[in-house]
Amino acid sequence: MTWLEISGTVGRVAACLGFFIAGMVIFYLLTKVIYRIPEKQQLERLHEPGKFRNAGIIIFGGLAAVLFTGFFGMGLQGIIYFLFLAVLTVVTFIDMDTMEIPFILNIIIFVMGVVSLILQFVSDAAPGSEFLAMDGVTIVSRLIGMICISLPLYLIVLIIPEGFGGGDIKLMFAAGFLLGWKATVVGFFIGLILGGIYGVICLVRRSHGKNDHFAFGPFLSVGLAITLFCGNDLMNRYIDFLKAAMNPEM
């Protein structure tokens, strides 16, 4: 059940307000986490975030809570994905500030994948429960998701050491186990496109020197967040398109 299905305008408004406030509280706590997670040797590179950035994160959290409960409902699936978005938000701002993704964040995402898999088994054992209902990502899809992007990135790094950061590889490994291979592939390519656009803009404006790099984690995080809503559907449509192209008579 989503807040869209609550009867009465007053009920919907009250539900939206409640989720908005809850999301703001959670993301307010994240503004503290973003500064405190990095290792001590990184702290000199990390400046205390400004009030405007913190306010933006907090408001974003409230809006995201309303969006996620409206789209995924008020079950465990929506809760896990919202917490995943919260971790991606921390990844984004820490990577922007330090050019590194703390290993603990990738561990948290992987644990979310384990919890999601366990809940999937529970959901299968108790069909019909809206609260327990999960998205049905199979363990095979999760295992493929772990390596379908992270392994190619690792091989690229062996050839071009500065191609991707180790945190980016671990992020895609952990996210792959949570989301499955379809959403992971779509999320990566969305992030790759966004990062490519940003890189071109930087080159045009010459805002980065020739040997400078920019954090890729934020773009991967945006791609993974977007794919929560449409990743599997986009991949299924693409697969259907390929099948139709290879078999025009069908």
Reported as a single tens digit per residue, the pLDDT across 190-246 is: 999 999 999 888 888 775 555 567 899 999 999 999 999 988 888 888 888 777 778
Q: Are 105 and 85 in contact (CB under 8 A)?
A: no
Q: What percent of the chain has pLDDT over 70?
A: 86
Average pLDDT value for the chain = 85
The answer to pTM > 0.75 is: yes
Mean pLDDT confidence for 28-51: 69
Among 43-52, 97-106, 128-137, 232-241, the range scoring the smallest mean pLDDT is 43-52
Using the predicted structure, report yes or no on whether residue 41 has a pLDDT greater than 50: no
Would residue 40 count as lying in a domain? Answer: yes
Examine residue 159 and state whether it is found in any structural domain, yes or no.
yes
| Rounded Cα distance, 61 and 80, in Å | 14
Closest among 179, 177, 182 to 114, alpha carbons compared = 177
Question: In this structure, is residue 67 part of a structural domain?
Answer: yes
CB 27 within 8 A of CB 89: yes
Determine the pLDDT at residue 72: 87
- Tokens for 227? 């794919």
CA distances from 105 to 13, 111, 211, 217, 221 (A): 34, 10, 28, 12, 12
What tokens were used for 12? 């919907």
Structure tokens at 231: 């990743």
Give me the domain span that covers residue 126.
Answer: 9-244
Residue found by looking up tokens 């809206």 in the block: 130
| CB contact at 8 A, 138 and 181 | no
- d(C-alpha 199, C-alpha 217), whole Å: 13
In a domain, 102, yes or no: yes
Taken in order 149, 154, 157, 158, the sign of the CA dihedral is: negative
Helix (H/G/I), strand (E/B), else coil: 126 = coil
CB burial of 12-21 (b: ≥16 within 10 Å; e: otherwise) equals beebbeebbe
For the chain, the first-to-last Cα distance in angstroms comes to 38
Q: Identify which of 217, 212, 242, 228 has the alpha carbon closest to the alpha carbon of residue 88.
A: 217
At a CB cut-off of 8 Å and minimum separation 6, what does 28 contact? 54, 58, 61
Domain count along the chain: 1
Q: Check residues 13 and 68 and name the one with the higher pLDDT.
A: 68
Token pair 């966004």: residue: 194
Cα separation, 57 vs 74, in Å, equals 22
Report how far residue 235's alpha carbon sits from residue 108's, in angstroms, rounded to the nearest whole number: 26
